[in-house]
Amino acid sequence: MTSRDLVLVSLFAAIIVALGMLPAIPLAFIPVPITAQTLGVMLAGLILGRKRGAAAILVIYVLVAIGLPILAGGRGGLGAFAGPTAGFLIGWLPGAYICGALAEHAAENDNPLRQTFGFFIAAVAGGVVVVYFLGIAWLAYGVGMGISPAVAGSMGFVPGDLIKAVLAALAARAVMLGYPLLPQRLSSDA
């Protein structure tokens, strides 16, 4: 990794931390609050690509593990990896990676509308589908909530996360126009 890559990874880790400072909105029917940090996960993948986006999440994991209260609601420490939200937190890493991989592919499209739509699909695939899959699995089996209540409770987050995906796609497109950061795919990466 170059020094530029390290700066970008640190910047996006800081963005995710800053989004965690926004107050979490608790819901009565599920022990997982609404937070803005998944927007940061989507942005990291869409703007930095798969490797650097995932690296930003690894920085977050280290900061959380050493006890810094950087997660929404001022949470931090190893307990965050065992609580009700642990599956969603763990889902950030593959989520950012998938967002980045799909965004790198979408960036190859010269049509602005198709590129933006590709970024949206990447954000939904990584930042919603992957994160929800692991989050719901943890709620159902790790917490013992059961699959039906975990799925039903998590569906309340979908509209907000789709809005986050739209915002992330628009931001990624704007960055692509002004200062493209996604790595160029080589023919051997395809």
pLDDT band at 186 (very low <50, low <70, confident <90, very high): very low
Strand runs labelled E in the chain: 25-27, 30-34
**In a domain? residue 25:** yes
Region of poorest pLDDT, from 28-37, 101-110, 162-171: 28-37
- CA neighbor of 128 nearest in space, from 157, 152, 105: 157
**In a domain? residue 35:** yes
Whether pLDDT at 120 is above 60: yes
Separation in Å, CA 114 to CA 3, 66, 109, 166: 32, 41, 7, 13
Whether pLDDT at 151 is above 80: yes
**In a domain? residue 186:** no
Q: Quote the pLDDT of residue 190.
A: 43
Query: Tokens for 146?
Result: 């059961």
Tell me if residue 34 falls in helix, strand or coil: strand
Query: Tokens for 170?
Result: 């628009």
Rg of the chain (C-alpha set): 16
- Domain CATH code at residue 167: 1.10.1760.20
Q: Quote the pLDDT of residue 179.
A: 81
Amino acid identity, position 82 = A
Distance CA 60, CA 183 (A): 22
pLDDT above 90 covers a percentage of the chain that reads 71
Could you read off the pLDDT of 40-71 as tens digits, one per residue? 999 999 999 999 999 999 999 999 999 999 99
Whether pLDDT at 137 is above 60: yes
Query: Tokens for 178?
Result: 């002004």
- CA neighbor of 123 nearest in space, from 87, 151, 161, 69: 161
**In a domain? residue 62:** yes
Could you read off the pLDDT of 23-36 as tens digits, one per residue? 778 777 677 778 89
Indicate the number of domains in the chain.
Answer: 1
Whether pLDDT at 13 is above 50: yes
Q: Exposure of 55 by Cβ count < 10 A (0-12 exposed, 13-18 middle, 19+ buried)? A: buried
The secondary element (H helix, E strand) that includes residue 67 is none
**In a domain? residue 105:** yes
Beta-carbon neighbour count of residue 12 at 10 Å?
26
Whether pLDDT at 184 is above 70: no
**In a domain? residue 100:** yes
**In a domain? residue 184:** no
Amino acid identity, position 184 = Q
pTM, rounded to two decimals: 0.90
Bridge partners (DSSP) of residue 75 are 71
**In a domain? residue 128:** yes
pLDDT band at 101 (very low <50, low <70, confident <90, very high): very high
Region of poorest pLDDT, from 56-65, 69-78, 92-101: 69-78
Structural domain harbouring 97? 3-178
pLDDT band at 187 (very low <50, low <70, confident <90, very high): very low
Whether pLDDT at 188 is above 70: no
